[in-house]
Amino acid sequence: MTQQAILDQVSTIFNDHLPFHRHLGLRVTRYDAEGVEVAIDMADHLIGNVHQQILHGGVTATLLDVTGGLTAFAGVVAREEAPSMALLEQKLPKLGTIDLRVDYLRPGRGSQFIATGTIIRTGNKVAVCRMELHNESGTHIAFGTGTYMVG
């Protein structure tokens, strides 16, 4: 099984089988060796401010955390010489966030929000990732830094 097939399977799980992702409307829109993108369309139920149409900070944190976890897991898959479906079953349940920092830069205004991530520290136990959230116009909304258990 190729790396991409494993990543596709993870995308399917995250998009179709995780209740909270469906409840919010977030979806993995890209997940391959070059990167991950997690997106959400602005919707009334995501608003966190009575006077302004601004994304709730909890949605921002969720998007960054999910993106960091996916980024960390892509690192796990990339480290394997011969990745197989067994890797998914063994390693995905071990994936967990140890800690997360979110830096809120600007109010979350826009019609769509896209989170991306890069791995900054890899290992067979722990990975550290940095994440960014932008809106559809490229406005930078938030930064994230997360430490993930991966094995």
Nearest-Å Rg of the Cα atoms of the chain is 15
Q: Which of 96, 111, 112, 136 is the binder for a copy of itself (CB under 8 A)? A: 96
Do 136 and 114 touch, CB atoms closer than 8 A? yes
Q: Does 19 bind a copy of itself (CB under 8 A)?
A: yes
Q: What is the DSSP letter of 47?
A: B
Phi and psi torsions of 93, nearest 5°: -65, -20
> The tokens of 105 are what?
């830069």
Binding piece for a copy of itself, criterion CB under 8 A, among 1-9, 33-41, 72-80, 91-99: 91-99
Do 66 and 15 touch, CB atoms closer than 8 A? no
Q: Does 91 bind a copy of itself (CB under 8 A)?
A: no
- CA pair distance 78, 70, nearest whole angstrom: 12
Q: Does 90 bind a copy of itself (CB under 8 A)?
A: no
- The residues in 47-66 that bind a copy of itself, with binding defined as CB under 8 A, are 47-51, 56-59, 61-63, 65-66
Binding residues for a copy of itself (CB under 8 A): 13, 17-24, 44-51, 56-59, 61-63, 65-66, 93, 96-106, 120-121, 125-126, 128, 130, 140, 143, 145, 147, 149, 151
